[in-house]
Structure 1
Amino acid sequence: MDFRMNSPAGKAILARARNGDYAHPGEEEAIAAAVDGLPRERIHRLLDVGCGRGGTADWFWRHGWGEVTGVDIDAASIEYARMRYPGVRFLQQDVCRMERPQFQGFDLVYLFTALYAIPDQTEALRRMRMAARPGGILLLVDYTRPAAQPPPPELGPEIGNPIEFETVGDTLAATGWKLQTREDWTPRFAVWYENLLERFARERDWIVDTHGPDWYGYVTGWYEALWKALGARRLGGTLVRATTREPARFAAEPFLPLIHGGEGAEP
């Protein structure tokens, strides 16, 4: 059996527990917090990278942010999203193979817990930079790990390659982005995953009846290990905001309020 949260069964279980097609912790609360302070008047075209089943892309469309394009490498997720959310344009696409002119001129490129799962993150960030307009914005919510430390081994390959919080600015600079702010969202992630574990417990009968007891054991065991790793700070969460590096009318203007405590301050 294919025990992966990125499998169709895993995504369906998460959607049930989260009461929506979201693949990131915090669901709509996380989206609203991530976009707080963005210059909405300058954002009209949005690119959702790793859109999954389309819930986040639909949130932006429903809240009037503009034209949203969602891309994901998984064909089943894209097929589902197209049927479920007709207001959004969804494309099956490997982010590391995006090309102009199909992908260019986006005002906002965003990822919610997606970069960690992309094997070639440098190429992905470079391609996203190509897709952004001059002065465009990158919004990134993802897992982090301490510098020079591997991810918690008990989470296996499914945790992918979380970004290094301390060096994310260098990573962005090497791919054409300029770091604006980074926030430590580890405490938020821990609370959101504790809540998710409680939701799994409430949905136990549905998960067992629909997917079998082994799936219930897998999701509860994996996410409990994730929650414990967050509590021990062997794994973290972050919100990163960046802009394109080349000069543009808005590129040098800060678009966010100053974060008290400086970079890495806990929310």
Structure 2
Amino acid sequence: MTGMNSFDNKSFLARIRGGDFAHPGEEDAIDLVLSHVGPAPGETVLDAGCGLGATADAIGRKAGASVVGVDLDADTVGYANSRYPDRRFVAGDITKLGELGLPAVDVIYAFNSLYACDDLEACFAAFREGANARARIAVFDYIAYDAGALAEADCLPPSVHSMAEMRQAPELQGWTCTGIVNLDQEYIGWYGRFLARMDENREALGAARSSAFFDEVRKKYADMRLCLERGVLGGALHTYVLAS
């Protein structure tokens, strides 16, 4: 099982995480990212691949920014709009932001979403077209250290990007990398906590879907943690600014 991006599956993961988050670390991860790239009050923010909406809402609350989230799944976006009415959520492809009628943005966040994008350069091209001058980007995501071993583990899609790709693709579209924060150990800890929550709530979670589905999900995330521990997979925060 390589995909967990349907609304039902995202909702299941949210029950484990204790909130409508689609990334490890939940609010701790958001605070970490905001400490490196924080919008000023009143700036316009894009949450690219927003999932169920809690991350966009947290950014809005913590930074006093105007936040719009974009996600490919219409059911997910419908939930986010109903659950977080103070934010705006739009169904669409983040590589085609120009077709969505969004306002120009000052800051872009991507929390564990770009790993699933096959055309990374197209993502950053779309970000450039929708951004104000000197806009900033924070990408909190997986890093593929050993693509072959990661493919054998089959716990993530083959589109997970290498560190080199995360430098080169943005630069080709006019973005300058301003920093890289290694989060390998943090990801190991976050996934350990995630698995512990699964085990503590096995009965309720198994009843929510099925015990077989529970076991399948647990194996997927245990395999991801093993890949992290073995140095096959990593995590990082990349920050960028739009070159003038």
Match of 2:236 in 1: 238
Q: 2:208 is aligned with what amino acid?
A: T
Match of 2:166 in 1: 168
Match of 1:84 in 2: 83
Structure richer in helix, relative to its length: 2
- Answer whether contact 2:37 2:137 (CA < 8 A) is retained: no
1:18 counterpart = 2:11: no
Moved over 3 A (4+): 37-43, 157-160
Q: CA RMSD in A?
A: 1.9
Match of 1:119 in 2: 118
1:203 counterpart = 2:201: yes
Normalising by structure 2, we get a TM-score of: 0.93
2:200 and 2:6 mapped to 1: Cα distance?
22
Match of 1:110 in 2: 109
Q: 1:85 is aligned with what amino acid?
A: Y
1:101 and 1:205 mapped to 2: Cα distance?
42
After TM superposition, give the deviation of residue 100 of structure 1 in Å: 6.5
Q: 1:182 is aligned with what amino acid?
A: I
After TM superposition, give the deviation of residue 4 of structure 1 in Å: 3.4
Structure 1 residues 171, 4: CA separation in 2 closer, same or farther (over 3 Å shift)? Answer: closer
Q: Show the 5 A alignment for 1:1-267.
A: 4-38=3-37, 40-41=39-40, 44-99=43-98, 102-146=101-145, 149-150=147-148, 152-156=150-154, 158-246=156-244
After TM superposition, give the deviation of residue 101 of structure 1 in Å: 8.2
Q: Which runs of 5+ in 2 are unaligned?
A: none
Number of residue equivalences: 244
Q: Match of 1:98, SS?
A: helix
After TM superposition, give the deviation of residue 108 of structure 1 in Å: 0.3
Q: 2:113 is aligned with what amino acid?
A: A
2:169 and 2:62 mapped to 1: Cα distance?
31
Normalising by structure 1, we get a TM-score of: 0.86
Q: Which runs of 5+ in 1 are unaligned?
A: 247-267
2:187 and 2:155 mapped to 1: Cα distance?
20
After TM superposition, give the deviation of residue 156 of structure 1 in Å: 2.4
Q: Which moved more, 1:94-103 or 1:64-73?
A: 94-103
Q: Match of 1:142, SS?
A: strand
1:14 and 1:222 mapped to 2: Cα distance?
12
Structure 1 residues 37, 7: CA separation in 2 closer, same or farther (over 3 Å shift)? Answer: closer
2:36 and 2:25 mapped to 1: Cα distance?
18
